[in-house]
Amino acid sequence: MGALSVLFFFFGFLFAQQGGTHPVPLPSDFDVAKCTDCHTDKTEGKYVHSAMVMGCNACHEIETKNDETTIKLLAPPTEICTTCHELEKKKVMHGPYEKGQCLACHNPHSSDYAFHTRAEVDTLCLSCHGVNQPGVKAEDGVVTVLGGQTIPLDEYRQAPKIGLDRSGMSGHPIMGHPIGGRDDPRKKGTPLSCVSCHAQHSSDVSALMPEQVKSDIDLCTQCHK
């Protein structure tokens, strides 16, 4: 990717998150259905957010004054998702979820991964909870993960870290225990992943374990009879 492409990618990402002045003015009666004529990447993923069918103005305010068009979210980034998706409130909350940082893990427009995640489940989780993960960079008090998502360094450090073996596919919660690369023993046909043993948003059980278990031993014996 050339320097100019990187620059356009960066400003496109920043614009999508914060809003601002549109590169070209749009007529006041602009048809929002035409937004994707230019922003084709917003609908190119395998999984397209249902809100895209509702139109971009379902989440964005588009206003043209004095030959200048500004676009901004209808609510702050930490609140925009909960205008449609009710926030779970259980005893144990995943930090980013509790703070409304949905966009750290999910692409609001489209994705090649189920549930609009920014990467496969284990890659997504390990970007914060893994040790020395490739592509994770810390600079000026900010950690960059998943090709552009930023997290304050102090919040990144608060995320519990797990060490894995060289394959990166085993070593948690004990040495030799797999975290992927095979089917989930409890859900045939479903890949084993972090969400096999942890709820991704909230739970009434410690360590975000699934609701149907009462302790870590109870969780273990569901696979290890």
What is the tens place of the pLDDT at every residue in 154-166? Answer: 999 999 999 999 8
- Vertex 212, ends 207 and 218: CA angle to 5°? 70
Q: What average pLDDT does this structure show over 202-211?
A: 92
Q: What is the pLDDT of residue 10?
A: 37
Q: What average pLDDT does this structure show over 73-99?
A: 93
Query: pLDDT tens-digit profile of 166-183?
Result: 888 999 999 999 999 999
Q: What is the pLDDT of residue 135?
A: 80
Distance CA 56, CA 37 (A): 12
Query: pLDDT tens-digit profile of 95-133?
Result: 999 999 999 999 999 999 999 999 999 999 999 999 988
Element holding 145 (H helix, E strand): strand 142-145
Helix, coil or strand: residue 190 = strand
What's the pTM?
A: 0.84
